Amino acid sequence: MKSPMETSTPVVHHSSDGVVLTFSKPMPYPTVWELQSRFHRERQLGLRPDTILILEHQPVYTLGRTTKLTDWGGNEAALRANGADLCRVNRGGSVTYHGPGQIVAYPIIRLNQHATGPRQLVWQLEEVIIRLLAQWNITGHRIDKKPGVWVMTPTPAKIASIGLRIQQGITLHGFALNVDMDLEPFQRIHPCGLPHCPVTSMATLLRTEISMDTIKSDLADIVSRMFAIEWTLAAGTLDGGVTDAGNSTPRDSSIP
């Protein structure tokens, strides 16, 4: 397992309207939760703009507010047996798994500046995933009353999950997209509280390895268009906070 803060240097996409931080190393869940919580407080106080984190996690199971005992079996030792962490979280939804090879996006944004309510925001985040998959010739689908994104061939399988919390008008948590990861840990739970829920990944469908950095960059582009923000690119470091290291340079704005 990689060390919690192993020279983690995020790429920072920023403008006067918002910031997207893209981290290169898998991050421990508690570290990212502390970062989300701090950014949430700063956003509420108007001390920072809307911020979106794009990253991978070290192996962890998270139990959302609607998790039932039957969704994960109640045996913490069994889930932790192969080195995964276990965290209870205040997002909506049930249990899920995060690990290297899965991209997680956490928007810390003022809801009323981007959507009419939580349902529209969920639709927007699903749309981000669907557009990203389309760039890789994968057709993503919505299924009524099952938030997230699914693929329907050869059989229905979940490729992305969504779980949000709106607190004082600012969002927390977000979505997870399975890119090129070990899917076996999902077999120990009922993902999102759905028994017999097949789970797949982009690499499984395309039968090839996929660059995580490429997908993170693609995702940053699509997020910027979905939320109508122009981003620039700068280097950054994470050491109790985010600071620019170098001059920012314009990101290619030719993409519609």
Q: What CATH code is carried by the domain that includes residue 226?
A: 3.30.930.10
pTM value is 0.84
Residue 1 domain-assigned (yes or no)? no
Question: Is the per-residue pLDDT at 18 higher than 90?
Answer: no
Q: Where are the beta strands (DSSP E) in 75-212?
A: 85-88, 95-98, 102-108, 141-143, 146-151, 157-167, 170-178
Residue 58 domain-assigned (yes or no)? yes
Question: Is the per-residue pLDDT at 79 higher than 60?
Answer: yes
Length of the chain: 256
Residue 159 domain-assigned (yes or no)? yes
Question: Is the per-residue pLDDT at 1 higher than 50?
Answer: no
Residue 179: pLDDT band by 50, 70, 90 thresholds?
very high
- Confidence (pLDDT) at 147: 83
Residue 72 domain-assigned (yes or no)? yes
Residue 4 domain-assigned (yes or no)? no
Residue 256 domain-assigned (yes or no)? no
Average pLDDT over residues 25-38: 93
**Residue positions annotated with a catalytic role:** 192
Question: Is the per-residue pLDDT at 233 higher than 80?
Answer: no
- Confidence (pLDDT) at 236: 39
Residue 234 domain-assigned (yes or no)? yes
pLDDT tens-place string over residues 189-221: 888 887 778 999 999 999 999 999 999 999 998
> How many Å apart are CA 176 and CA 155, to the nearest integer?
20
Residue 152 domain-assigned (yes or no)? yes
Do 52 and 107 touch, CB atoms closer than 8 A? yes
Question: Is the per-residue pLDDT at 59 higher than 60?
Answer: yes
- Confidence (pLDDT) at 256: 29
Angle formed by the axes of helices 118-135 and 212-226, nearest 10°:
130
- Confidence (pLDDT) at 105: 95
Q: Which domain holds residue 234?
A: 11-250
**How many domains does one find in the chain?**
1
> How many Å apart are CA 251 and CA 68, to the nearest integer?
44
Could you tell me which of 188, 221, 71, 200 has the C-alpha nearest to residue 148? Answer: 200
Average pLDDT, whole number, for the chain? Answer: 83
